[in-house]
Chain A
Amino acid sequence: MDYYVLKTNNLCKNYKSFKALDSLTMNVPRGAIYGFVGKNGAGKTTLIRLICGLQFPTSGSYELYGIKNDDKSIALSRRRMGAVVETPSIYLDMTAKENLKQQYRILGLPSFDGIDEILELVGLDNTGKKKAKNFSLGMRQRLGIAVALCGNPDFLVLDEPINGLDPQGIIEIRELILKLNHERKITVLISSHILDELSRLATHYGFIDKGRIIKEMSSEELEAACRKCVRMTVNDTKALSRVLDDMNIEYKILDDTTADVYAKPNFSQLAAALAKENCEVVTIEEHDESLESFYISLVGGAEHD
């Protein structure tokens, strides 16, 4: 059984002379909520369109559940996924229930069992005969997700699902995604440029800029990267390690000369202890990275490549 639901390998997509995706390689682990982060025009929606089969790669490939995109049996893999691409694809002149019935027919499901449960899950069970054209934006987004949930997919792709939503709507969508992931074990790929919101959801991150993945990391790694600390530059990190261990202070060695110290020690005592070990302190600075500044530093770093 594949650990990754989705793997892309040097995926490229050109629109005439514009390169939307540039050798993009990423991996979405099974069971994850994968936050796909990038600014407008970075290539998030383009990638989603490719993996949903709406458009075709210029070069490169991707695999869904281990099946390559040019394999005829990719259609079977697609039956296991649902997606909301940009805007929800719903029939505005139908009710919520009729929309789901229509999707059930497309899937060839033998009965309409489960529709009421899906509507209840997304909070649209009381819409009755109200047509989708009379829904609010948040309700339409939830209906789009409900349509994507028809057929019990285990991979859900959501393209900027909280765009245009009010705070209440954002909270509802977030709680729905968490519920789907925790209770139904659905892997979720969610693209957004709103970092703060993603940080409350994602277990894994992929940062994209100019059609390329800049970095992939887990939420633990991101948290570690953004944690408040004191960054020390010394001439002997082994000596620093011994001293910090003796003082029971949490730290992380970054390289031969740098370490992050996750506490505010008594610097006088620390300096004295280091002096005994013949360890010189070169610099000490406070390090407090927010998710935004981390992302900016990533993208800024990429620009200088």
Chain B
Amino acid sequence: MTNLLSAQFSKLFKNKMFYAAVIIFAAIGFVSTMLFFRYIPDLAHFAEEAKANGDTEYLQNMYETSIMFDISSRMDFHIIVFAPAIFISMFIGREFDNNTIRNKVIVGSSRLLIYLSNLIVCFVAQLIMHIVYCLSAFIPSIIVYLKYRSIINMRFFDISFKDFLLSQVIGIGIMLVCSSLYLLITMTAGSRTRAVISSIIVILAMFLVSNKINTILYVPNEEDYNYYIPTYTETTDTPDTSNFIEFDPYFGYDSYTNYVESYRGKNLKGGKRFLYETIDDTLPTSQALYIMSSDATSPRTGKIILCDLLFSVVLSAVGIIIFNRKELR
């Protein structure tokens, strides 16, 4: 397989689209991090004023808004699930359009090895994009951290380093699943155009399913339901939402209450909940949301990583079986 890998990597590192994607990831990493921390200079200014005025309470509260590199290093996972849909479809799909896949089959290369070499190269391409993103996010983060850490009480990681690494492992799992999925679609579709369209449809469908499942999973238990309904205080006609923890009241309070009420009694339990959670743990779109919003010490982390491995193996096996029987022109 080394010869096939050598050929594919050579093609990858000559591919303009790959370099364009790397540049885009680098730009997003740098710009999004700069935007994320754009308030730091103002914060530093207020901190210096508070220090001069001896306002210790203000300085303590600033801890909540400290710089956190680990967040910016996870922000690209919502792009990681989408970008390969285009890249892999175009990169591998071109082999079918210009029929260069024939060159490998005619000289006796095994179809299994052709498929696996494509899978490895697609995965490595995503990994490179993510590493470039992290490095681009790291550079402004470290600059800001070093410049302002004496003024503001800052932490470079909000979570422990171990949890940070775990979130990256989940990220690698996401990349593996995405590589397997989009490669299966592309090798089955047999043309660049069909592969791109099919991959985009699949990823959009996954986003919709993830959103729906996420909403259903967060419906509270019946006994806790009233805890989430806003209550009106006696002295004011605006609702007291201090007991809201899970839901985000972005609709406005009345319509939000109706929205919450519509889910009353629809919380999942038992086997059904397990099934929905498993689907949620398997979908790379759900995992991307999970990484960006929660910490990696949740008990579901191990299950997520296992689901990634299993899902990748199943997708790859299906892809290999289909490609082995595929009639090439």
Contact = CB atoms under 8 A, between A and B. Distances in A.
B103 A106 contact: yes
A55 B3 contact: no
Nearest to B7: A105
Contacts of B98: 89-92
A151 to B, nearest CB: 7
A55 B103 contact: no
Given A56-B327, A90-B98, A81 B6 contact: no
Contacts of B107: 78-79, 81-82, 106-107, 151
B286 to A, nearest CB: 37
A199 interface: no
A91 B100 contact: yes
Contact of A49 (B14, B110, B329): B329
Nearest to B4: A106
Given A102-B7, A106-B109, A52 B104 contact: no
A258 B327 CA distance: 50
Interface in B272-329: 325, 327-329
Nearest to A101: B10
A54 B10 contact: no
Interface in B83-105: 98-105
Contact of A77 (B3, B6, B100, B108): B108
B143 interface: no
B108 A53 contact: yes
B235 interface: no
A108 interface: yes
Nearest to B327: A55
Contacts of B35: none
A87 interface: yes
Q: How large is the interface on A (under 10, 10 to 19, 20 to 34, 35 or more residues)?
A: 20 to 34
B99 A87 contact: yes
A85 B102 contact: yes
> Most chain-B Cβ atoms within 10 A of its Cβ — which of A53, A98, A103?
A53
Contacts of A101: 10
A89 B329 contact: no
A249 interface: no
Nearest to B9: A105
A214 interface: no
A171 interface: no
A224 interface: no
Interface in A110-150: 147
B20 interface: no
Interface string B101-122: 1111111111000000000000
A94 B14 contact: yes
Contact of A89 (B2, B3, B102, B110): B102
Contacts of A102: 7, 10-11
Given A105-B3, A107-B3, A108-B3, A89 B99 contact: yes
Contacts of B325: 56
A89 B103 contact: yes
A76 interface: yes
A75 B110 contact: yes
Contacts of B103: 89, 103, 106, 147
Given A49-B329, A89-B98, A105 B6 contact: yes
Contacts of A55: 327-328
Contact of B3 (A78, A83, A106): A106
Contacts of A85: 99, 102, 106
Nearest to A157: B106
A74 B106 CA distance: 11
> Most chain-A Cβ atoms within 10 A of its Cβ — which of B2, B11, B108?
B108
A78 B327 contact: no
Contacts of B7: 102, 105-106
5 contacts: A54-B327, A79-B108, A102-B11, A106-B104, A108-B2
Interface of B: 2-4, 6-7, 10-11, 14, 98-110, 325, 327-329
Interface of A: 49, 52-56, 74-79, 81-83, 85-87, 89-92, 94, 98, 101-103, 105-108, 147, 151
Given A52-B105, A83-B102, 18 more contacts: A52-B106, A55-B327, A74-B108, A75-B110, A78-B106, A81-B106, A82-B107, A85-B99, A89-B98, A89-B100, A91-B100, A94-B14, A102-B11, A105-B3, A105-B7, A106-B7, A108-B6, A151-B107
8 closest Cβ contacts across the A-B interface?
Answer: A78-B108, A108-B3, A75-B108, A105-B7, A54-B328, A89-B99, A55-B327, A106-B7
